[in-house]
Amino acid sequence: MENLISPLKKRGARVFIFGSRAMGRHKKFSDVDLLYRESTVIPLHEISRLLSGMEDSSFAYKIDLVRDQELAQSYRENVERAMVEL
């Protein structure tokens, strides 16, 4: 997982896992929910390249990557309560 998120961290972003995997309630094939907070804006083409790399990797689970600023307000409290920084 670290090699998948290291490009975000190198750009100064903080990365968090949330959802069922963060809370230990995941099932065998549950996806991995990641949220990132940028210290400076990461261009969309870099995020697209990162997502493409995640999809092409041998990592066994689907990854959902959410930009902090795009997280729906209705989910924010639940996500922030259970998220764990990676």
Q: Which has more confidence, 4 or 11?
A: 11
Q: Is residue 67 classed exposed, middle or buried when 0-12, 13-18 and 19+ CB atoms within 10 A define those classes? A: middle
Domains and CATH numbers, the chain: 2-85 (3.30.460.10)
How far is CA 38 from each of CA 16, 19, 27, 28, 30, rounded to the nearest angstrom? 12, 20, 30, 31, 26
The predicted pLDDT at position 84 comes to 95
pTM of the model: 0.84
CA distance 50 to 67: 13
Question: Tens digit of pLDDT for each residue in 5-63?
Answer: 888 998 899 999 999 889 888 988 888 999 999 988 888 888 888 888 777 777 878 88
pLDDT bracket for residue 68 (50, 70, 90): very high
